[in-house]
Structures are given as C-alpha cells and as structure tokens.
Amino acid sequence: MNAVFVKVDNKQFGPFTHHELRGLARKGKFTPADLVWDEDDHDWVYAEQLDELKTIFSDDYAPEEHNSRIIAVGGGKGGVGKTVLTASIGVALASQQHQVVMVDADLGGANLHTVMGILEPEYTFFDFYTLNRDSLNEIALETPVENLRLISGACGTLGLANPKYTQKLRFIRQLRTVNAEFLLLDLGAGSSYNVIDFFLAADEGIVVTNPEPMALQESFNFIKICLMRKLKRAFHGDPFVNELLDREEVARPGRMQMTLHQVLEKVREHDERTGDFFEQVLESFKPQLILNMVTKNEDVKEGVAIQAAAAELLAIEVDYLGYITYDQSVRDAVRDLKPFILHDPKSKASQDLAKLVNVKLLGKSMFRSLWQKRKLQKKLQEEKKAYPEIQLLDKAPICSVRCFYWGDCDYQEGGKPCPVRYLEPIFKS
C-alpha cells in the first residue's frame, strides 16, 4: 500500500502516503480512531485496523522501504538538459555498482535511447502499452554501461503521448516492480497531466533549469503547477478548499493574488482539521533543483532565488542540489550520442555532476566524496574505453545524382557520405 484515503469529520482527503500520515500522527492530527479506506474490503475502517498503518503511531516507526528509489527529472521548459543530465546521472550511479534503470517517460517524444547511442531499441514502451509484453522488466534494455538498463519510450507513435488515466496508473504501479536500486524518469517538456502525475508519483522529483529568465520562470511555474495538482487531488472532495484556490487565483497563470501561507490561514479558519491536512501536503512536497549550463559565478544565486520564491509564495521547501557548469564537451558528447560524463570524465561539467551525485543523491560526506570521486573517474575512464563509438556518417547514404534532392541541393559531394541525410539512422529508429 503506497497511499490511502482518509475520512475525518465526514470529509474525505487524500490519497496520503504513509510518510505524510506519520507527520500528522506525530503532531496528534491523525489518530488510530480516524477512518481510512480499505481497498480489500472496499469500506471505511479505523486506521488501527490496517496492519500497514499500525507502525506510524509508534515511536519505532520505520519509513516504508521500496525495492527501488524512483527519481523523476522534469522542469517544464524544453532545452534545459533534462535528458542529457538523466543519462549522465544514470551512468554515474551505475559506475558505483548501483543497479540503475532509466525510464524515458516522454511517452510520445522519446530520445533518451539516442543519447545512449541506441538507435533502434528492440523493445519500447509501445510493447508494454499494447500488452505485447506483460511487465516493464521485459522491455528493459541493456546499455553499453554495466549495471545500467533503459526502458525506452516509443517516439512518434500516435496515442502514446496522451495515455488514458488507467494506463498511467498501470505504468506507475509497474515502476515499483522493476528490478533496480534506482529508477530515473526522464520526463517530457511542458506541464501536461502526464508529466505532472509522473513527477508526483516518484519518491523524489528533480527540477532542471538554467539561469535564463524564461527557464527560471518556467521552472517556478512547473513547481507551482505540481503543487496545485497535489492539493487539488488531496482536497477534491472539499468544495471550500477548491473554491478558495480558484477564487483567489492561486492556481491561475501569472502573478499570484494570495500566497499559500495566506490560503492555509483561511483554510484553518474555516476548519482546523482540514488546515492540518493542508499544511501536511505543503510540508511533504519537497522538490529538488539543479541549475544547469551555468556560465558565470553570479548565476549560481538563481537557484537560491527560486528557493526563496517557493518558500515565500508557495510555503514549501525546495532543496537546491547544486549546479552544472556550461561545458562545450557536453554539446560534443550529444553529437557523438554519448553521455557527457563518459565523453570526458574530467570535464568541469562531469566533475560538477559527480560531486552532486555523491554528496546530494548518495548522501556521502565531502571527504568521502573526494575519495569516491577519484574512484569514480577511474571507473568512468574504463567505461569510456569500452563504450562503442557511433559514426553516423559511416551509415549515411552516399551522395550521388540518384538522390531525389540532387537538383536542389547546395551540398553536392558525389561519392561521399551525405552531410544532409546523415541523421537517417536516427529518424528510422
């Protein structure tokens, strides 16, 4: 059981995770005598009657453990480097002997396989979607990196970009069954319900942005929209909360007319118990942030600016994981269809990412991180040597008068690989 619905004072809230209910229980705001929905009996029962919930009321409570740690990488705006970062984070974790599966959750516009140099995936999400394969484990592909597998999306397939809600639920439930220590979800651009639901379903959500004003605004809007989605779902049965969120223009685009601190006060004035649950949703939503493509030292503060804005306007805590320096080697790696941390393990961007993974994602001390960084670089150099080189020009059509573009082409180089159609191997995949 990952989350449950609760009923207090004849009002239904949720779903809430065990961790969220534990937070309420510690404050005395959720008790064993409160009602929860039992999916097996299809009835409301007292919380103390469910074995899964009994431990949240005891002092020796242990957080619910999953076989895997699901991390979603999103951000709203396209072109900020989500896919490129996801690939290199996956390589960094796998190179430290963690079992990692990367999931291209951009269901209708997949390209994570291309970054990994896999031009024609044997299986994609389409096989799971059409029930040709029963589980996500069956479509997880080996990559050139040891301990790292990939679940590829189905690029250019009509219908996959907008799956039904029941199909999304099946996909999210299946994620928990994938054999891995880490699952990295590479989300698509934008703020569609698909992207938001996958972001909220993960154990952790990382928002990627860059220092450009438009990207910063989009990342803040993405965080806000995800929070609104979470609040709307948790209080969908409470007309007062929903009307308040809509009336005060909190959920609308543009400048907020009321902060979430003020909304919380109004909710608490209306109903104390509802206010307790509302506050718990705010406390439990803790997105993480990575600032990518940093060119100047003063750009680093933009991450802190988003933190401050989220605390002031949204009443939530954003964990600023760190930044990745702009590096030409990253662009070179993308052209070579290779994760940048393998393309040049000693580049500034690779060193920034290695530090971020060790200290922030794996929770290692700075001293241990320095030792681990040297060990990681050695392993990455070995992986780099073993990683296959892909020369797209070698697979390109040969330029000749037989090409239907010949009469209009300005790049005629008869007998040589075509500099225009060299991407055909990618398009055909």
Cβ atoms of 276 and 24 closer than 8 Å:
yes
DSSP notation for 260-279: HHHHHHHHHHH-HHHHHHHH
R_g over Cα of the chain: 24
Instruction: Give residue 402's pLDDT.
Output: 74
- Range of lowest pLDDT (17-31, 63-77, 154-168, 345-359): 154-168
Specify which of 130-134, 182-186, 239-243 reaches the highest per-range mean pLDDT. Answer: 182-186
**Which is more confident, 165 or 119?**
119
Domains identified in the chain and CATH numbers: 3-57 (3.30.1490), 69-383 (3.40.50.300), 394-429 (no CATH)
The model's pTM: 0.86
CA dist 58 and 306 (Å) reads 37
The region of weakest confidence among 123-132, 163-172, 246-255, 357-366 is 246-255
Residues 125-139: tens digit of each pLDDT:
888 877 788 888 999
**Cα 126 from Cα 206, distance rounded (Å):** 26
CA angle (315, 321, 325) in 5-degree steps: 130
Residue 160 has pLDDT above 80, yes or no: no
Question: pLDDT tens digits, residue range 302-315?
Answer: 999 999 999 999 99
Alpha carbons 210 and 219: distance in angstroms, whole number: 9
Q: What is the three-class DSSP state of 138?
A: helix
* Banded model confidence at residue 400, pLDDT cuts 50, 70, 90: confident
pLDDT for position 370 = 60
pLDDT band, very low/low/confident/very high, at 60 (cuts 50, 70, 90): low
What is the arithmetic mean of pLDDT over 311-322? 95
In the prediction, which pLDDT does 73 show?
96
pLDDT at 180 over 90: yes
Residue 317's pLDDT band (cuts 50, 70, 90): very high
Q: What distance in Å separates the CA atoms of residue 8 and residue 262, rounded to the nearest whole number?
A: 23
Mean pLDDT to the nearest integer, 348-353: 94
Which of 259, 191, 247, 265 shows the shortest CA–CA distance to 223?
Answer: 191
Given a cut of 50, whether residue 1 has pLDDT beyond it is no
Q: How far apart are CA 195 and CA 400, in angstroms?
A: 44
Residue 196 backbone phi and psi in degrees, to 5:
-65, -45
Q: Catalogue the E-assigned strands of 310-366.
A: 319-325
Q: Would the pLDDT of 429 be above 80?
A: no
- Residues facing residue 357 across a β-bridge: none
Predicted pLDDT of residue 336:
87
Q: What's the pLDDT score for residue 71? A: 96
Give the chain's mean pLDDT. 85
Are the C-beta atoms of 74 and 187 separated by less than 8 Å?
Answer: yes
Residue 64 has pLDDT above 60, yes or no: no
Mind listing the pLDDT tens digit for each residue in 66-102?
A: 578 999 999 878 889 999 999 999 999 999 999 999 9
Q: Is the pLDDT of residue 248 over 50?
A: yes
Residue (of 137, 144, 68) closest to 113 by Cα position: 144
